[in-house]
C-alpha cells in the first residue's frame, strides 16, 4: 500500500511518523510494507492508494494549491474516489463549505460538510480530551489546536466522534475521513489504521 501526504505546508512529519509507527506495528503483514510519499506535485500522486491532508493553515494551503493547480487535480481525484484523510486544516480543505475563512480561500468538496474555522474561541483554542470514536474500541486521545467544528452534515455523512460539548469533530463519507483534531500529535495510531482499512476496502490506485 502506498499513502501520499500532501506536503505543501503544515504537519507532514507527524503523519509520516504515525504511519511509520503503524508499519512497525504490522511488520510482516501487508501494512508493514507501507510506502509513504510526500505530495507537492501531481506526478507524486502516481500509484497512491490514499492521501492524507495534514494540519497547518488552511488558507495558506489553499493559496499554494491554487498556485500549483493541485486544487483542481485533487478535487477531481476525490470525485473519482481517491481515499483521503484530513486532520484539522486538512478537514477544512476537504469540506464542501467553510465559514470564517478568507474570501479567496478554496476547498475541495470531498465531504458534504460545513465547517467553521477556529471554532473553539481563544480560551480553549488548544486542548486535549479522551473521546469515544465510532469504529475504535478505546477512547481516542485527541489534541485540538485552533480546531474547526463541523456545523452541518449532508445525509451521506456518518458522525464518528463528538467533543465533550457534543459538537461534531470526526466524520466519514464514502472514502473520505476527517477529524478536527490531531491523532498524529497525540501519538494515537488507531485513526490512521482506520484510514488504511478504508483505503484497502476502496481498492483505489491513482493513475
Decide whether 55 or 183 has the Cβ nearer to ligand GLN: 55
| Residue 146 assigned to a binding site | yes
Residue 4: how many CB atoms within 10 A of its CB?
A: 23
Q: Which residues are catalytic?
A: 88, 182, 184
Tell whether 17 is in a known binding site: no
What is the per-residue burial (b if ≥16 Cβ within 10 Å, else e) of 34-47?
Answer: bebbebeeeebbee
Which whole-number Å values give the CA distances from 207 to 7, 18, 73, 81, 167, in the listed order?
Answer: 19, 26, 12, 12, 37
Binding of residue 21 to ligand GLN (CB under 6 A): no
Is 102 assigned a ligand-binding role in the annotation? no
Q: Kindly tell me which residue out of 6, 53, 89, 113 binds ligand GLN, with binding defined by CB under 6 A.
A: 89
Residue placing its CB nearer to ligand GLN in the complex, 89 or 106: 89
Q: Is 42 annotated as a binding residue?
A: no
Given 49, 58, 173, 179, the residue binding ligand GLN (CB under 6 A):
58
Tell me which of 118, 152, 174, 200 binds ligand GLN, using CB under 6 A: 118
Q: CA–CA distance from 21 to each of 27, 105, 187, 192 (Å)?
A: 10, 34, 9, 10
Question: What torsion do the CA atoms of 179, 182, 187, 193 make, to the nearest 10 degrees?
Answer: 20
Q: Please report how close the Cβ of residue 54 comes to ligand GLN at its closest, in angstroms.
A: 8
Please report whether residue 146 would count as binding ligand GLN according to CB under 6 A. yes
Amino acid at each position: 500500500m502506498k499513502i501520499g501526504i500532501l506536503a505543501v505546508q503544515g504537519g507532514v512529519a507527524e503523519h509520516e511518523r504515525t504511519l511509520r509507527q503503524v508499519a512497525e506495528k504490522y511488520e510482516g503483514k501487508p501494512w508493514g510494507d507501507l510506502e509513504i510519499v510526500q505530495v507537492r506535485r501531481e506526478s507524486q500522486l502516481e500509484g497512491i492508494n490514499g492521501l492524507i491532508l495534514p494540519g497547518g493553515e488552511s488558507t495558506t494551503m489553499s493559496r499554494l494549491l491554487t498556485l500549483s493547480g493541485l486544487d483542481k487535480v485533487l478535487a477531481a481525484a476525490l470525485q473519482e474516489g481517491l481515499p483521503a484523510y484530513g486532520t484539522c486544516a486538512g478537514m477544512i480543505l476537504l469540506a464542501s463549505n467553510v465559514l470564517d475563512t478568507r474570501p479567496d480561500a478554496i476547498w475541495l468538496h470531498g465531504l458534504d460538510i460545513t465547517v467553521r474555522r477556529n471554532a473553539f474561541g481563544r480560551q480553549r483554542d488548544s486542548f486535549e480530551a479522551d473521546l469515544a470514536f465510532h469504529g475504535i474500541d478505546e477512547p481516542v486521545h485527541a489534541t485540538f489546536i485552533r480546531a474547526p467544528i463541523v456545523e452541518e452534515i449532508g445525509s451521506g455523512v456518518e458522525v464518528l466522534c463528538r467533543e465533550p460539548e457534543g459538537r461534531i469533530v470526526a466524520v466519514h463519507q464514502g472514502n473520505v475521513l476527517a477529524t478536527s483534531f490531531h491523532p498524529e500529535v497525540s501519538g494515537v495510531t488507531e485513526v490512521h489504521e482506520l484510514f488504511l482499512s478504508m483505503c484497502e476496502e476502496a481498492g483505489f490506485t491513482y493513475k
